[in-house]
């Protein structure tokens, strides 16, 4: 493969949290077309605005070589296609590859000899070559590794993180042939200041990505389990972690709800493939069970605190502060705060959810939750601090307690305030 990088035309398929920053980075140097099936998303990007807040208006305006479209035909003539679509799980917690398969069908119909297709979506080892490549062959009529080529470079986007950006995180790359791997690596190296790490194969790169988040998931599950143990022992978990953290090699994980587009999803991709080849993963699935049940555990703890204060749970009013899966970003994908809302409602409580980062339409469309504009004072029997948004920290505990009735409970999942300022924390 011998390709002149500056003349490369790049098509990005999927313009969410991963695809848009990538399109902007490529658009600074290459003729780049960003495609998304959501026409509303394309309209806002053409107007110079990103509702995910991952790319500023100024950054969008500074990419004259980048265009946006919801028409697949506008991708014709691209030399490189990059698929950055979601890879969720279904209700049975099995990998849902349908967005990736549809993206592969779309790209396959546009493929020309010499093209390279790069996948950034998180998958299990082998998915690119076992699932995506056959679809590309079928819809293009071209032969893999002869007429067209494949690459893999897993995304490492951290929504809301202003420090760790696409350009500042080392990029893992891989290709379907040695010369393809070199081309893919050179392409990403031209936009990533932190440099690249070239894996020996696509399968290695796929495996590396899926264990990054599996490792975090298992570690958080351990801390969540420790929090449940310490709660029974009457010991504050945060104080224990601060004491343990004085040792140089203690890992600084904290208990909490595990949601989002990666940590709460990716382990199921690995366990799916593991079971497919005959191995039942014990530790990974145990960690998933613990983390998936943390919302219900929080509700149990809050209701116990309410009962100690003789507050009737049935008919009580509860304020949940925060809906996103993490602080200081509008991302509600796979947020586990909804588990708390649903469990409280199943107990007959009236639940209000307040999150200044989330657009009401998004909460309504995704979870059927009607956000409140702002909590009124003296209204709530219990207040759950679910997400550590900077706005909540700025309020301070005294202002937050004003939302409660004379007798109320404040439960702090994220340890935003000291143990003596709240009634309970994880």
Catalytic residue ranges: 262
Sheet with 317-321, side-by-side order of all strands: 350-354, 317-321, 380-385, 404-412, 424-425
Helices (H), 259-389: 266-276, 282-292, 294-308, 337-346, 360-367
**Pair of tokens at residue 272:** 């799916």
If you ran DSSP here, which 8-state letter would residue 393 be given? H
By DSSP bridging, strand 171-175 and strand 149-152 are antiparallel
Q: How many residues does the chain have?
A: 426
Of 162, 150, 153, 159, give the one whose Cα is nearest residue 192: 153
CB atoms within 10 A of CB 409: 25
- Backbone φ/ψ region at 315: left (φ over 0), alpha (ψ -120 to 50), beta: left
**Pair of tokens at residue 315:** 């008919």
Specify the DSSP element, H or E, that contains 412. strand 404-412
Tell whether the torsion through CA atoms of 208, 213, 214 and 220 is positive or negative.
positive
Specify the residue for token string 């986007």: 157
Specify the residue for token string 């420790």: 226
- Are 12 and 23 in contact by the 8 Å Cβ rule? The answer is yes
Distances (CA, A) of 154 to 149, 203, 227, 249, 341: 17, 11, 32, 28, 33
């Amino acid at each position: 493969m011998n390709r002149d990088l500056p003349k490369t035309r790049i098509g990005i398929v999927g313009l969410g949290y991963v695809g848009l920053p990538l399109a902007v980075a490529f658009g600074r140097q290459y003729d780049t077309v960003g495609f998304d099936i959501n026409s509303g998303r394309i309209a806002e990007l053409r107007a110079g605005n990103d509702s995910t807040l991952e790319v500023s208006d100024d950054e969008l305006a500074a990419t004259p070589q980048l265009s946006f479209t919801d028409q697949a035909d506008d991708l014709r003539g691209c030399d490189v296609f990059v698929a950055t679509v979601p890879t969720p799980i279904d209700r049975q917690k099995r990998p849902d590859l349908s967005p990736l398969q549809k993206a592969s069908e779309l790209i396959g119909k546009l493929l020309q000899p010499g093209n390279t297709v790069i996948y950034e979506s998180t998958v299990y080892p082998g998915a690119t070559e076992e699932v995506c490549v056959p679809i590309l062959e079928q819809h293009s009529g071209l032969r893999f590794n002869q007429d067209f080529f494949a690459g893999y470079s897993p995304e490492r986007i951290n929504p809301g993180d202003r420090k760790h950006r696409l350009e500042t995180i080392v990029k893992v790359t891989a290709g379907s042939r040695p010369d393809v791997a070199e081309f893919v690596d050179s392409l990403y190296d031209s936009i990533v200041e932190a440099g690249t790490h070239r894996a020996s194969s696509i399968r290695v790169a796929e495996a590396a990505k899926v264990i990054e988040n599996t490792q975090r998931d298992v570690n958080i599950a351990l801390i969540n389990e420790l929090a449940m143990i310490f709660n029974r022992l009457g010991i504050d978990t945060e104080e224990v972690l601060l004491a343990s953290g004085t040792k140089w090699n203690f890992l600084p994980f904290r208990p909490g709800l595990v949601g989002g587009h990666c940590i709460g999803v990716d382990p199921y991709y690995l366990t799916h493939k593991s079971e497919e080849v005959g191995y039942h993963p014990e530790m990974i699935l145990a960690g998933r069970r613990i983390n998936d049940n943390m919302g219900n555990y929080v509700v149990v703890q809050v209701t116990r605190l309410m009962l100690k204060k003789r507050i009737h749970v049935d008919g009580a009013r509860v304020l949940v502060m925060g809906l996103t899966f993490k602080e200081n970003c509008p991302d509600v994908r796979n947020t586990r705060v909804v588990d708390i809302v649903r469990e409280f409602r199943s107990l007959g409580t009236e639940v209000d959810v307040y999150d200044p980062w989330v657009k009401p339409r998004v909460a309504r469309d995704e979870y059927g939750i009607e956000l409140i504009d702002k909590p009124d004072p003296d209204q709530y029997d219990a207040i759950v601090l679910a997400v550590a948004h900077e706005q909540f920290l700025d309020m301070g505990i005294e202002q937050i307690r004003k939302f409660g009735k004379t007798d109320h409970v404040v439960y702090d999942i994220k340890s935003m305030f000291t143990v003596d300022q709240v009634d309970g924390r994880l």
